[in-house]
């Protein structure tokens, strides 16, 4: 029986920039930041109230996971905003929207009441987009 999700990957163009976005703008906490040899880094962050869900900010670079061609394709797809990686939750959507906007976060969609809930869409520094909803 599967009981929970504890790791999820988000592919990013630059881990230093992603660190700044997820930690300094979104307010996430660094879980593990480990150098894995030249040019390789294992970097995971957690939403403030979810310390057991590690979001792995995976660099898209040629190596074991990607060859040169697939890394280039993946970087292009991410930077074009192809991927939506999930739904985050906050206590107050409008307050969070105003705060993140003041910190320079780009929103594809301002908070709007939809039939399924109150939602906004923001984009990370690489081009990945996320839905942001409000706790009911």
Partner 1 sequence: MSARLPDNYPRIYLYRRLVQAKIFIDTHFSERIDLNCISDEAFFSKFHFIRLFRQIYERTPHQYLISVRIANAKRLLASGMSATDACYAVGFESVSSFTSLFKKQTGSTPSVYRQQQLDLQAAIRKAPLDFIPNCFAESNGWSKTAILKKPPSE
Quote the DSSP letter at residue 38: T
CB of 29 to partner 1, least distance (A): 9
Element (H, E) at 19: helix 15-19
129-134 vs 54-59, strand pairing mode: unpaired
Binding of residue 91 to partner 1 (CB under 8 A): yes
Binding of residue 132 to partner 1 (CB under 8 A): no
Among 2, 5, 64, 69, binds partner 1 (CB under 8 A): 64
Binding of residue 92 to partner 1 (CB under 8 A): yes
Binding of residue 38 to partner 1 (CB under 8 A): yes
CA torsion through residues 73, 55, 24, 36, sign:
negative
CB 15 within 8 A of CB 42: no
Sheet holding 41-46, edge to edge: 7-12, 54-59, 41-46, 29-35
CB of 25 to partner 1, least distance (A): 11
Among 4, 104, 113, 116, binds partner 1 (CB under 8 A): 113
How many CB atoms neighbour CB 34 within 10 A? 9
Give the count of residues interacting with partner 1 (CB under 8 A): 34
Q: Which residues bind partner 1 (CB under 8 A)?
A: 7, 9, 32-38, 40-42, 56, 63-65, 91-95, 97-99, 102-103, 107, 109-113, 118, 120
């Amino acid at each position: 029986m599967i009981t929970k999700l504890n790791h999820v990957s988000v592919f990013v163009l630059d881990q230093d920039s992603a660190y700044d976005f997820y930690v300094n703008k979104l307010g996430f906490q660094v879980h593990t930041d480990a150098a894995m040899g030249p040019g390789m880094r294992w970097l995971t962050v957690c939403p403030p109230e979810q310390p057991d869900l590690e979001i792995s900010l995976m660099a898209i670079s040629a190596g074991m996971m990607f060859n040169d061609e697939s890394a280039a394709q993946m970087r292009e797809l991410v930077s074009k905003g192809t991927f939506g990686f999930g739904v985050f939750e906050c206590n107050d959507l409008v307050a969070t929207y105003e705060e993140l906007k003041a910190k320079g976060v780009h929103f594809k969609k301002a908070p709007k009441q939809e039939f399924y809930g109150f939602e906004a869409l923001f984009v990370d520094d690489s081009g990945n987009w996320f839905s942001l909803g409000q706790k009911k």
